[in-house]
Each structure stands twice: as structure tokens, then as C-alpha cells.
Amino acid sequence: MHLPDLDLFQTFLTVAEHRSISRAALALGLTQPAVTKKIKRLEASLQVSLIDRNARPLQLTEAGLILRDRAPGLLSDASRLSQDIRAMSSTGLPFLRIGMSDSLSEILGAEFIGALQSYAHVVELKSSISPWLETAFRARHFDLAVDNPPFADTQQIDMQLLVHDPFVIALPNAMATKPLDKILQTENYVGYGRSSKFGAYCTRLISQMGVERPTRFNFDSTQSLLRFVQAGYGWAVTSAFCLLQSPAALSGITILPCPGSDPRAFYLLNRKGEHEALTQQAAQRFTAVFNQLVDGPWSQIAPETAKMIRAANPVNRGPSVSIL
């Protein structure tokens, strides 16, 4: 089956709208035989009948009804594609869609997108949690994605390491004088839900530390989790990047390195054979933005957290990028 000309879809939609070959021909400025010929060409390409020729007035077949509902979206997508391609030819810049985890997009998404504006005519950022992010990337909802392992399948994607995010323990200041091992075994644990990749990883870390107490409170957001810790309801395992999402909640909280944990690694993902040169440029820009934030605003917002991040990420200076 060959993909029909888009003009045939438009002709069919006009016939479906007017429910008449003659009225459609008048609307299109064509003769009735010309419209009939186009409908037959479309049916031949799709190998289905779209019009019930025994019905009066004109009726669509089941296949015709489906096409009537879906063809407008196809024509709209084709129009946007044409506009994007024309924009590329006039400016040399592509339309770029990037997916990013919530924890990163909230603390550096805007700066990263701003740093990429010279590489793309339009830059679009969408954020969510894993594993939805990886699934959406594989479904081609994004051109590039920033995500952390584990990944379901790496055979069709290229991965470039960007940054490391160290895990930390957050506890209320009232607990800070107690030995950590006693806190882990006797105090309430405030945790993330297990529906996300990050929540599942934090749960494994707790198990590796030998914590046997059941989770007392579960949250989907870091802000809610830290507020419960801040209020003295228990301690939590989170990450340095997550802490920066809610700097106001850090007051009254002590942050310690998470024992026996390796930092989670974030990678820039592209599909093999696609956007390879742009991926390299984007990775350099990401690194430059990240370094400026660690050494600048993050160090002022949360000095101890910034030190942990810097320790997990030896300075790798990229090109100079203004994030102001």
C-alpha cells in the first residue's frame, strides 16, 4: 500500500463534509468527474471502499468514517511539518523536543533550554517521572531525553553521561545529635512512592542499609516529603538534586551523605543515527550550565548540598554559556 497524496485526503474530507460529490466539486472548484477520480485513487491506495455508492444520499463506509475522523489530524501534522522544514531551510535551525526528569527540569531546565536556543528554531521541554519518560522517548515524543538508568533497552539508543546526583539522608535537626545507625533503626522513615524509578531506587537503598522498619509515610513529591521531615515526623532518603527543588523546606533539616550509596547518573539520550552532532553540542551546553549553577546560585541556596554535588562531579568545563 502506497501513502496517498495529501490532496486526496482533503478532497475526501470535502466530500464527507458536503455529503455530495457535486457540492464538493463546487466547493473545490473542480468538475464532478475530477472529484470522483480522486476518491477512487484514494480508495485504490488504501485498498478500501470509503463511500457506499448504493446509498442515497451519500453515505460513508465504516472505513470512510474512520478516515473522516483521523484525516484532519494527519493534514494538521503535515502542515506543521512543512512549516518546520521551511523554518529550517530559512534559519538552519530544527524544531527540538526534549524530555527531562522532574528533578532536573525544575532546577536547571529553563537554563538548559535557554542555552540551546541558538541551536534550534523552537525548543520544547517536557518533564515527567520515569519510566514514563523513557517510554515517551521510545515512542518518538521527544528528539532527546535526559534520564537515569536502568533503561529497558539500550540497543537502539546512544547514551552520553552528563552528571551524577548523590543520594543523601535528610533528618530533622532534633535528630542530628543521635548516632545515624540508631536513627535508621528506631525513627520513622518518610519515603517516596514506588511508582517512579527514583522511588524504587530509594527503597532498595533503605534495604541495603539494613533498615527493617516499614515506611510510615509515602509521598510522590519531594516538597511534601521534606515538609514531613522538617516537621519532625521522621527521616528520608532523597538526592541532592531533589533537595534543590524545595530550598524553602531545607530550614530545620540536617543533610548527611547516604552511606553505601553510589550517585545516580543522568544521561543524554538520542536514537542511534539521529541528532548525533546536536547531541554532542547539547551535552556540552548542559555541562556548562550545570557547572555555573553549582558554583553560583546553588552554592548560595544550599552550600552543603552544592558541595556534595561538586564532589560527585569533578569540574569538566564546557563552553562559556550565559544563564542570566
Model confidence over 145-177: pLDDT tens digits?
999 888 877 888 999 999 999 999 999 999 989
Question: pLDDT band at 3, cuts 50/70/90?
Answer: low
Report, as an integer, the average pLDDT of 39-66. Answer: 89
- Rounded (10°) CA dihedral 102, 107, 112, 114: 110
Residue type, 210: G
Q: What is the DSSP string of 1-67?
A: -PPPPHHHHHHHHHHHHHT-HHHHHHHHT--HHHHHHHHHHHHHHHTS--EETTSSS-EE-HHHHHH
Q: What are phi and psi of 166, to 5 degrees?
A: -75, 145
* Percent of residues, the chain, with pLDDT higher than 90: 35
Q: Quick one: pLDDT at residue 319?
A: 47
Contacts of 312 (CB under 8 A, 6+ apart): 164, 165, 166, 240, 263
Domain ranges of the chain: 6-89, 93-163+265-302, 167-257
Q: Quick one: pLDDT at residue 289?
A: 93
| 6-89: CATH class | mainly alpha
In this structure, of 258-262, 312-316, 317-321, the range with the lowest mean pLDDT score is 317-321
* Percent of residues, the chain, with pLDDT higher than 70: 89
**CATH classification number, 93-163+265-302, choose in 3.30.110.30, 3.40.1110.10, 3.20.20.70, 3.40.190.10:** 3.40.190.10
Model confidence over 165-223: pLDDT tens digits?
999 999 999 998 999 989 988 898 888 877 677 888 888 888 888 887 777 778 878 88
Report, as an integer, the average pLDDT of 3-18. Answer: 84
Q: Is it the case that residue 82 has pLDDT exceeding 80? A: no
Higher pLDDT, 10 or 90: 10
In this structure, of 43-57, 67-81, 236-250, the range with the lowest mean pLDDT score is 67-81
Q: Is it the case that residue 323 has pLDDT exceeding 60? A: no
How would CATH label the architecture of 167-257? 3-Layer(aba) Sandwich (3.40)
Query: Whole-number mean pLDDT of the chain?
Result: 85
Contacts of 323 (CB under 8 A, 6+ apart): 111, 114, 115, 289, 292, 293
Q: Find the farthest-apart pair of alpha carbons in the chain and give their distance in angstroms, rounded.
A: 89
Question: pLDDT band at 40, cuts 50/70/90?
Answer: very high
Question: pLDDT band at 33, cuts 50/70/90?
Answer: very high
In CATH terms, are 6-89 and 93-163+265-302 the same topology?
A: no
C-alpha to C-alpha distance for 134 and 137, rounded to whole angstroms: 5
The overall pTM is greater than 0.75: no
Rounded to an integer, what is the distance from CA 7 to the centroid of its chain?
34
* Highest-scoring range by mean pLDDT, 48-62, 128-142, 309-323: 48-62
Cβ 128 vs Cβ 196: under 8 Å: no
Rg (CA), the chain: 27
C-alpha to C-alpha distance for 297 and 287, rounded to whole angstroms: 15
Question: pLDDT band at 305, cuts 50/70/90?
Answer: very high
Q: Is it the case that residue 296 has pLDDT exceeding 70? A: yes
Report, as an integer, the average pLDDT of 22-31. Answer: 88
